[in-house]
Structure 1
Amino acid sequence: MKKVKKTNAARILDELQIKYELKTYPVDEEHLDAVHVAKEVGMPPEQVFKTLCVRGDKTGVIFAVIPGNGELDLKALARVSGNKRCEMVHLKEVLPLTGYIRGGCSPLGARKDYPVFMDETCRLFDRIAISAGLRGMQILAAPGDLVRATGAAVDSLIM
């Protein structure tokens, strides 16, 4: 069996002694969306969470972690994050801000410790998947453990 190289996100979970599974899948540059990733890892899209990089007018950069088939409600995120307004960070800014590329953005191990907000539907599952910080790799773990590891506030974030 091929040994999987650990990412910063996985090392953070190791340090916190959190149980997780790393799941790899073939990367399709044309289909980096979470619904496609869910098919590749054999999970329903509502159980594979995507990390979105957002900027609040008061807080600056924050992460929204929502189900792969969900659409972020920017007004709800603004409300729970203490902002009046939130907008998606432009794609060209994501790498310099986070150290991650599109399709590989994780709420763990970014360049800075940005505030994390996770959609409450994470609580519906024993395990959810989030990006391990690389395209082609997901971390599967208990939502409560991921909330603890990221320091996430959990609330309703999808439309």
Structure 2
Amino acid sequence: MSDGGPTGRQRVRVDAEAHGLAVEIVSRPAADTLEDAASLLGVGPSDVVKSLVVRRHDGSFLFALVPGDRQISWAKLRSVVGVNKLSLPRPEIALDATGYERGTITPLGSTTAWPVFADERITGRRVALGAGEHGYSAFVDADALITAYAATVADISD
């Protein structure tokens, strides 16, 4: 960060430690596709978890964690959250809400601890997600992540 504050990776590490979550941050080259990113990380596409910041109608946000090879199901997520309207905010709004740019977003170290909703398909394995900075990924045990961040686990993807 240009203001001399902690880097995104540092925020991820500090927050993970505060939550008792083991995290391994690895450097990785840029990738053009999900398949390339997964290959560079030595995992399958479903093990690369997308951390999406989602805006509620009231202006608050939540995180939706979805396997890389699936898409968020708006109808399913709305049902689980219990609202009629959800949307993806513009990149600058997502940055304001989390302190992270798109492509680096993660619940770990977010400037606000928004609620986390995890797709049930990420459970029971080690997954890679954004690490707060471009060129890095964070590996975590999905079940430990869900526990540490009190995530709601449900079928939220297609």
State the TM bucket, normalised to the shorter chain. Answer: 0.7 to 0.9
Return the TM-score normalized by structure 2: 0.85
In the alignment, which of 4, 8, 12 is matched to residue 11 of structure 2?
8
Partner of 2:51: 51
Per-residue CA deviation, residues 46-97 of structure 1 (Å, 9 max, x unaligned), is 0110111111225721111101111100111111112112111122311122
Do structure 1's residue 22 and structure 2's residue 21 form an aligned pair? no
Distance in 2 between the 1:72 and 1:13 partners? 25
Distance in 1 between the 2:88 and 2:25 partners? 28
Change (3 A) 1:35 1:91: farther
Change (3 A) 1:16 1:56: closer
Partner of 1:82: 82
SS of the residue 2:80 aligns to: helix
Distance in 1 between the 2:127 and 2:149 partners? 14
Partner of 2:119: 119
The runs of 5 or more residues in structure 1 that have no matched partner are none
Change (3 A) 1:81 1:35: farther
Distance in 2 between the 1:16 and 1:114 partners? 14
- Aligned amino acid, residue 18 of structure 1: L
The runs of 5 or more residues in structure 2 that have no matched partner are 1-7
Segments of 4+ moved more than 6 angstroms:
none
Distance in 2 between the 1:77 and 1:59 partners? 16
Distance in 1 between the 2:65 and 2:34 partners? 11
Distance in 2 between the 1:60 and 1:18 partners? 25
The two structures, once aligned, show a CA RMSD in angstroms of 1.9
Q: Kindly indicate whether the alpha-carbon contact (under 8 Å) linking 2:9 and 2:133 is maintained by their aligned counterparts in 1.
A: no
Per-residue CA deviation, residues 7-51 of structure 1 (Å, 9 max, x unaligned), is 2112222233332322210135xx3x6444222211111011011
- Equivalent residue pairs, number: 151
Partner of 2:101: 101
Return the TM-score normalized by structure 1: 0.85
Distance in 2 between the 1:17 and 1:55 partners? 28
- Aligned amino acid, residue 69 of structure 1: D
Change (3 A) 1:98 1:19: closer
Change (3 A) 1:99 1:10: same
Identity %: 26
